[in-house]
Amino acid sequence: MSDLMASDLITPDAGEPPLLSINEVSILKAAPLTRLSLRLREASLKAAGSAFGVDLPVLPLSSATADKRAALWMGPDEWTLFAPENTSQSVVSDIEGKLGAEPHSLVDVSERSEAIIVSGQRAAWLLNTGIFVDFSIDTFPVGTVSRTIFHKSPVMVWRIGDEAFVVEAWVSFMDYVSGLLVQSASELSAA
Amino acid sequence: MSQPFRTEKGGRINRTEQLTFTFDGEELQGHQGDTLASALLANGVHLVGRSFKYHRPRGIVTSGSEEPNALVGIYRHGDQTPNLRATQVELYQGLEAISQNRFPSLGFDVGAVNDLLSPLFPAGFYYKTFMWPKAFWDRVYEPVIRAAAGLGKPPKTPDQDTYGNIYAHCDVLIAGSGPAGLAAALAASETGAKVILCDEQSEFGGSLLSEVSASIDGKDPSEWIAETINKLEQMDNVTLLPRTTAFGYFAHNYLALAERVTEHLPNPDPKLPRERLWQVRAKEVVIASGAIERPMIFPENDRPGIMLAEAGRTYLNRYGVKVGHKVLVAAACDTAWQTAFDLADHGVEVAGIVDLRETPPENLMAIAKARGIRVEAGCMVTGTLGRKRVKAALLGRMMTSGNVASGGQISCDALLMSGGWTPTVSLYSQSRGKVVWDSDKGAYIPGASVQRERSAGASKGLYGLQEVLEDGYAAGEEAAKAAIGKSAKVSYATATGGEAGTGGTLGALPHDRNASRVKAFVDYQNDVTAKDVKLAVREGMQSIEHIKRYTTTGMATDQGRLSNMNALQIASDSLDRPVTDVGLTTFRLPYTPTTFGLFAGVARGDYFDPVRKTPSHDWVVENGGVFEDVGQWKRTWYFPKNGEDMHAAVARECKTVRESVGLFDASTLGKIEVVGPDAAEFLERLYTNPWKKLAPGRCRYGLLLNDAGFITDDGVIGRLAEDRFHVTTTTGGAPSVFATMEDYLQTEWPELDVWITSTTEQYAVAALQGPKARDVLAPFMEGVDLSADALPHMSVKEATFCGVPCRLFRISFTGELGFEINVSRRHGKMMWETLAKEIEKFGGTAYGTESMHVLRAEKGYIIVGQDTDGTVTPQDAGMSWAIGKKKADFVGKRGLDRPDLVADNRKQFVGLLTKDPKVKLEEGAQITTAENPAIGTPADGHVTSSYFSPALDRSIALAIVKNGHALEGKTLYVPMPDGSIPVEVTGPVFYDKEGARLNV
């Protein structure tokens, strides 16, 4: 896990056993995180970025990170902000304070999703058992983030390393997502 | 020797590895590298099945996936998979195969009586015969036809295999690995393009696998294949997929491939999927699907032992199997001669070459002469003898008069035929390309590309090996260039030999037999004869589409790859029109039969659909709650105690809520946070109700219509601040309400400064309902005054529950004092367990969705989707009060003014009380004004909700009834099989009509 781009923010949940741990790929539950959904107009981009500590990315499917911060592009006026657990209130008040009356929407969605870290040599292959996105490194370089579908569940995939991905799903979908990933990986340990 | 038809040497089989298998219980031997078909032939077994309609003995005809006859069942895990083509089944130790469509045995089949009765079964027989009497169809004809129809038996046990799925992207997908496909792969991969090469066979090489007389770059074809594959295997940008059929070509170069992962293994690791579905998006496609040989249409051309010439060559050169000891070759083209020569070189007696052409090429005649092979030119086969194996062929000679004269007979134990070659254009056709007729080639070949694909080699009618290789390289280069804009120079391999032959014939051969008595088969699998096609034309069918459906020609698993061209020519001759005027049927997916398991993939068992659980789930399981499925959610239906049945549990739960307190998990309700300076304006435009004057801290019931004015969703909306609302939706409606909001924001009102965020899963929600609700809640709350004055009905407040931030709503869906506590999801379990324990002190109970339904029905609260069906307006539902009368506009406002929505006779929402309080109506039951309406009388409405009400100690029902609001006090009827049930129309509110219990 040492080569992860955002390793200071997305970390395995120490209290949770690995969902899967084989040579080719591992699946680990990520530790809790502050997640905020930020919506605003272009005029407020700069202010929001400086309040949060990271310039909000404007390229589709891109992300921007800084110490203990990540901003993920979700749409032309939508970002998901990541910050350490228990910093929700301070991050919210920083942004609200800076934006003041500028039109925006900031909603705490920390608990809406759970994240798993899928990493290893066959991580992209494993994700492709249920996600139709092209994960080749040229097309989906490190830092790319996309909301997409895993079989029948909506998910968000964020590439944090050559062979490491964060996969988020709404909490009630996570059993389905992680369960199917583990099941699909079983052929990797076939004789 | 156990395999009397095995050659001494040669072939790609592993002669040192002997395998034992069974066919219909008989133990036989084969080798690693055999297919079931080649192993059977090595043992002299040609008879492998019975035909579909006439139950005629049938043998192996081809060596590929187009095989029409050799359909077998294969046993695995104690059950059999039917209709596998023996030509594709790879042999493994212990393989168990059975023949199909025979009873009691393959050798003696009582169904064969159909063959003798065949004059009674002409084309269109079913259409003509089973017309009358009409009533016989359901009871007699259909069951009998169904019992007799179909090949093979479906498996009886659940599929024990698993199936994988993989999405892939590539620059160049190459379907087919014959010389054209391999050359294309070499050329494309050299550029660095990402290449996928797939082939339905177990080995790459296609036609080269059975080619021994040609050479490539001075090497044996097999050596060239090995070098080529070795080279491709070492390239990171190449994915090689043997045993993988490209079976579907969809829009935007999206292709589906079926990879058979374990089918060829005797004891596969259960962790491996049986098959894997590849869903590939290819920038460019090269179709190198080759060509297949056409049968010749002569009488009795279906006897076991009669095969395609190239199949005979493949069995000889690839599998080391002689298809007979005395083989007659009948042809209209050059390529079949090579088969005769190869057989002779292996010491097989060639009974003769019968060529339809008056003057076959000199060079071939010379080679035949050198090998001492008898040649009959200007001759054709006019019939065959031998029931379970061909014994002899009758010959005919074309006279100058145009008639055929008998040319004697030749004995043989195998007859190899070739009417020429047909390019395999299935994938091109699936890509929506239109084939064009090439009269020189006598074939349909691919026309213009509709998608980013090109055909290469024999699939576009090129047959000479050198020509095919060049075309393959060019196609690969072109595809890579188009995909990634790069070119690379590869040196083209040069072939010697394998020249394109000449000749070929289409349609039925002339003969001197009684045309009304003989059967010359066009479509083996569906038992369609030349006679049938002619009959269809005589009876008025002119288009091949009609002829196909009338005769079923081309409707077998090969989709007519073997039969179409011959059928077209026969129809063309009968109609006396050019073949291009008869039309051509379209090839559709799948290219070859594909298992259901492949399509189902992982969507079975626990993973058929996501199962969504709420934070109370584990507690409910421990406490014996019963779940029901609400969309993808598991919701608790009821909590039986001490062996209660559902009725008793629900009665107790409802009573407890009304008398004391109940706890309900409302986490599944949709929640949407609407934030921004224009939040109130947005809701004002969307919902029927007014929102601008709603004070922060207060809630309002919101009703959502579609443009037509019909109710689509509802829910309580709380105003948290001037610019922030907490919207709730129905459980099932959450995604559609969210999508509707987003749709309006993006397309209708982009100027509004407001945004929506789904918070359904951010919060866990517990509903406390009942007169003791406040007492239960009080000890855990801080930062809020729970008194009726400070927190009246329909208000919301942010506070803490057990120190955890929460949004506290005072709302009710039961008609009792009620609170809904929203805490962040991870605290949901703690909240539920805390409250579940606390209510015990008050004799309270947890309750499920069934009690929730009863309690709300007692109050006449509608459930959208149960009491409404998409045709109910607020007026119909008696909810005009929810419409903001002073509002200029809202979604659905104009719809509500439509004449049909303001007309009389609308169905309206009412209550129903049965005259007998113990009788509970059926939900969905029809309602009439007449007690015993005549059959065909339209209903005046139907029952939407029906329960036994513990509070009223009687049954209650809700319904929509024509002019229902004006019928209060009147008697209507609910006709049921046991007699009509009289009901009295009432208002929909049955309990606490004044609402006094809410405001305490």
pLDDT value of residue B145: 65
Specify whether B695 is located in the same domain as B806: yes
Domain total in chain B:
6
Q: How confident is the model at residue B105 (pLDDT cuts 50, 70, 90)?
A: confident
Q: Is residue B226 part of a domain?
A: yes
Specify whether A116 is located in the same domain as A95: no
The residue among A60, A81, A108 that closes a domain is A108
Specify whether B277 is located in the same domain as B308: no
Q: How confident is the model at residue B150 (pLDDT cuts 50, 70, 90)?
A: low
Contact B271 A172 (CB under 8 A): no
The question of ipTM being above 0.90 is answered as yes
Specify whether B167 is located in the same domain as B276: yes
Specify whether B277 is located in the same domain as B316: no
The residue among B541, B559, B577 that closes a domain is B577
pLDDT value of residue B651: 97
Specify whether A158 is located in the same domain as A97: no
How do residues B626-643 score in pLDDT, each as one tens digit? 999 999 999 999 999 999
B968 pLDDT higher than 70: yes
Q: Which residues contact B577 (CB under 8 A, 6 or more apart)?
A: none
Domain total in chain A:
2
* Domain CATH number, residue B555: 1.10.10.1100
Specify whether A26 is located in the same domain as A48: no
Specify whether A129 is located in the same domain as A142: yes
Q: Please give, rounded to a whole number of angstroms, the shortest distance from the CA of A112 to a CA of chain B.
A: 4
B306-308 and B215-216 strand pairing? unpaired
Give CA angle at B238 (B234, B242), nearest 5°: 95
Give CA angle at B535 (B531, B536), nearest 5°: 120
Specify whether A85 is located in the same domain as A142: no
**Which among B555, B417, B516 is positioned nearest to B68, based on CA atoms?**
B555
Q: Is residue B632 part of a domain?
A: no
Average of pLDDT values for B162-182?
98
| Residue of B611, B633, B675 lying closest to A176 (CB–CB) | B611
A3 pLDDT higher than 50: no
* Domain CATH number, residue B124: 3.10.20.440
Q: Which residues contact B296 (CB under 8 A, 6 or more apart)?
A: B330, B331, B332, B380, B381, B417, B418, B419, B505, B509
Q: Please give, rounded to a whole number of angstroms, the shortest distance from the CA of B767 to a CA of chain A.
A: 20
A180 chain-B contacts, CB cut-off 8 A: 602, 607
* Domain CATH number, residue B955: 3.30.1360.120
Q: Is residue A5 part of a domain?
A: no
Specify whether B796 is located in the same domain as B869: no
Specify whether A125 is located in the same domain as A100: no
Alpha carbon of B506 to those of B298, B616, B970: distances in Å?
Answer: 12, 72, 79
Q: Is residue A161 part of a domain?
A: yes
How do residues B849-869 score in pLDDT, each as one tens digit? 999 999 999 999 999 999 999
User: Residue type at B279?
Assistant: Q
Count how many residues are written for chain A.
Answer: 191
Q: What is the mean pLDDT of chain B?
A: 95
How do residues B429-463 score in pLDDT, each as one tens digit? 999 999 999 999 999 999 999 999 999 999 999 99
Q: Is residue A7 part of a domain?
A: no
B762 chain-A contacts, CB cut-off 8 A: 108-112
Q: Is residue A45 part of a domain?
A: yes
Average of pLDDT values for B315-325?
98
How do residues A104-115 score in pLDDT, each as one tens digit? 999 999 999 999
* Domain CATH number, residue B363: 3.50.50.60
Contact A175 B611 (CB under 8 A): yes
pLDDT value of residue B149: 63
Domain, as residue range, for B434: 163-291+423-496
Contact B607 A171 (CB under 8 A): no
Contact B673 A77 (CB under 8 A): no
pLDDT value of residue A2: 39
Average of pLDDT values for B743-751?
97
Q: How confident is the model at residue B146 (pLDDT cuts 50, 70, 90)?
A: low
B944 pLDDT higher than 50: yes
Specify whether B510 is located in the same domain as B400: no
CA distance B687 to B891: 7
Contact B613 A130 (CB under 8 A): no
Contact B610 A153 (CB under 8 A): yes
CA distance B423 to B441: 10
Q: How confident is the model at residue B119 (pLDDT cuts 50, 70, 90)?
A: confident
* Domain CATH number, residue A161: 3.30.1360.120
* Domain CATH number, residue A50: 3.30.70.1520
The residue among B83, B113, B129 that closes a domain is B129
Specify whether B882 is located in the same domain as B967: yes
Specify whether B690 is located in the same domain as B832: yes
The residue among A57, A84, A108 that closes a domain is A108
Average of pLDDT values for B34-62?
95
pLDDT value of residue B107: 82
The residue among B388, B403, B419 that closes a domain is B419
CA distance B338 to B356: 16
pLDDT value of residue B136: 73
Specify whether B936 is located in the same domain as B809: no
A171 chain-B contacts, CB cut-off 8 A: 761, 825
Average of pLDDT values for B307-313?
98
Task: Classify residue B361 by its DSSP letter.
Answer: -
Q: Is residue B1000 part of a domain?
A: no
The residue among A108, A133, A153 that closes a domain is A108
How do residues B579-637 score in pLDDT, each as one tens digit? 999 988 889 999 999 999 999 999 999 999 999 999 999 999 999 999 999 999 999 99
Average of pLDDT values for B686-692?
97
Specify whether B209 is located in the same domain as B243: yes
CA distance B438 to B461: 9
Specify whether A83 is located in the same domain as A27: no
Q: Can you tell me whether residue B468 is helix, strand or coil? A: helix
Specify whether A140 is located in the same domain as A80: no
B375-377 and B349-355 strand pairing? parallel
Domain, as residue range, for A145: 20-31+112-189
CA distance B910 to B637: 26
Closest A-chain CA to B828: A111
A1 pLDDT higher than 50: no
Specify whether A25 is located in the same domain as A66: no
B279 chain-A contacts, CB cut-off 8 A: 132
| Residue of B272, B611, B676 lying closest to A105 (CB–CB) | B676
Mutate to test the interface with A, among B633, B825, B831 (most CBs of A within 10 A): B825
A140 chain-B contacts, CB cut-off 8 A: none
Contact A179 B760 (CB under 8 A): no
Q: Is residue B916 part of a domain?
A: yes
B103 pLDDT higher than 90: no
Specify whether B404 is located in the same domain as B350: yes
Specify whether B307 is located in the same domain as B287: no
